[in-house]
Chains A and B, each alone.
Chain A
Amino acid sequence: MTLRLAVLGAGAVGGSVLDLAGEYGHEVVAYADSSSAVSDPAGLDPETVHDRKEREGVVGDDDPEAVFDTDYDVLVEATPTTLGDAEPGFSHVERALADDRHVVLANKGPVAERYADLRALEAESAGRVQFEATVGGAIPVLSTISDLGANHVSAARGVLNGTANFILSRMAAEGLDYEHVLAEAQDLGVAEADPSFDVDGIDAALKFVILANVLSDGDVEYRLDDADVEGIRNVPGTALDLAAEDGRTVRLIGEATADGVRVAPRLVPQGAALAVTGTQNIVQLETTHAGQLNVSGRGAGGPETATAVLSDVSRLE
Chain B
Amino acid sequence: MSAQDVESDAETEADAETDGGGEMPKPHTVRLELVDEPGQLLAALQPIAENGGNLLSIFHERGNLTPRGHIPVEVDLECPPDRFEGIVDALRDAGVNVIRAGAEHFGEEVTLILVGDLVDSDLSDTLHRVEASADATVKDLSLSAPDGTQESSSARLRLAARSGKTEDALAVVREIAAEKDLHVVEPLTEESA
- Across-interface contacts of B112 in A (CB, < 8 A): 267
Assembly CA distance A272 to B191 (angstroms) = 10
Shortest CB–CB separation between residue A282 and chain B, in angstroms? Answer: 12
Identify the closest chain B residue to A241 (Cβ): B144
Contacts of A5 in B (CB 8 A): none
Report yes or no: A238 in contact with B111, Cβ–Cβ below 8 A. Answer: no
- For B159-193 the 0/1 string (1 means CB < 8 A from A) is 00000000000000000000000010111100011
Interface residues on B, range: 20 to 34
> With the chains together, A235 CA to B187 CA distance in Å?
14
A6–B36 alpha-carbon span in the complex (Å): 79
Min CB–CB distance B46 → chain A (angstroms): 26
Q: A234-B115, A238-B145, A239-B113 are in contact. Are A177 and B151 (CB under 8 A)?
A: yes
Give the docked Cα–Cα distance between A267 and B22 (Å).
Answer: 17
A-B contact count (CB 8 A): 88
B70, CB-defined interface residue at 8 Å? no
A271 to B193, CA, bound (A): 9
| Candidates B22, B115, B142, B187; contact of A268 at CB < 8 Å | B187
Binds B, one of A8-16, A122-130, A194-202, A247-255: A247-255
Q: Find the A residue at minimum CB distance from B20.
A: A271
- Asked whether any CB of chain B lies closer than 8 Å to the CB of A44, the reply is no
B23 on the interface (CB 8 Å rule)? yes
Within 8 A of A (CB), among B128-147: 142, 144-146
Asked whether B183 lies within 8 Å of A253 as measured between CB atoms, the reply is no
Contact for A271 among B22, B111, B145, CB less than 8 A: B22
- Give CA–CA (A177, B145) in the complex, Å: 14
Chain A interface size range: 20 to 34
Give min CB distance, B88 to chain A, whole Å: 18
Name, among B111, B153, B185, the residue most crowded by chain A CB atoms within 10 Å (CB to CB).
B185
Chain B residues whose C-beta falls within 8 Å of the C-beta of A204 in the assembled complex: none
Instruction: Kindly provide the distance from the CB of A111 to the nearest chain B CB, expressed in whole angstroms.
Output: 25
CB distance from B183 to the nearest CB of A (A): 5
The complex places the Cα of A234 from the Cα of B152 at a distance, in Å, of 9
Cα A272 to Cα B22 in complex, Å, equals: 7
The residue on B at minimum CB distance from A243 is B113
Distance, CA A58 to CA B192, complexed state (A): 48
Rounded to whole Å, the gap between the CB of A40 and the closest CB of chain B is 50
B156 at interface (Cβ–Cβ under 8 A)? Answer: yes
Q: How far is the CA of A264 from the CA of B187 in the complex (A)?
A: 10
B155 interface residue (CB < 8 Å to A): yes
Given A239-B115, A242-B142, A271-B23, A266 contacting B153 (CB threshold 8 A): no
Report Cα–Cα, A204/B51, bound state, in Å. 38
- Chain A residue with Cβ nearest B192: A157
B24 interface residue per 8 A CB criterion: yes
- CB < 8 Å neighbour of A245 from B142, B146, B152: B142
Q: Which A residues touch B145, using CB under 8 A?
A: 238
Contacts of A264 on B, CB cut-off 8 Å? 185-186
Contact of B113 among A242, A247, A286 (CB under 8 A): A242
Contacts of A246 in B (CB 8 A): 111, 142, 156
Whether, in the assembled complex, A143 has its beta carbon less than 8 Å from a beta carbon of chain B, the answer is: no
Confirm or deny: A274 has a beta carbon within 8 angstroms of a beta carbon on chain B.
yes
**Interface digits, B19-36 against A, CB 8 Å rule (1 contact, 0 not)?**
000111000000000000
* Residue A270, interface by CB 8 Å: yes
Provide a sorted-by-A list of 27 A–B residue pairs whose CB atoms are within 8 angstroms. A177-B151, A230-B183, A234-B183, A235-B185, A236-B153, A238-B144, A238-B145, A238-B146, A238-B153, A239-B185, A242-B154, A245-B142, A250-B185, A253-B188, A265-B185, A266-B186, A266-B187, A267-B111, A267-B112, A267-B113, A267-B186, A268-B188, A268-B193, A269-B23, A271-B22, A271-B23, A274-B188
Q: Which 3 A-B pairs have the closest CB atoms?
A: A238-B144, A238-B154, A242-B156
Given contacts A235-B115, A236-B152, 4 further A-B contacts (CB under 8 A): A234-B152, A246-B142, A267-B112, A274-B193
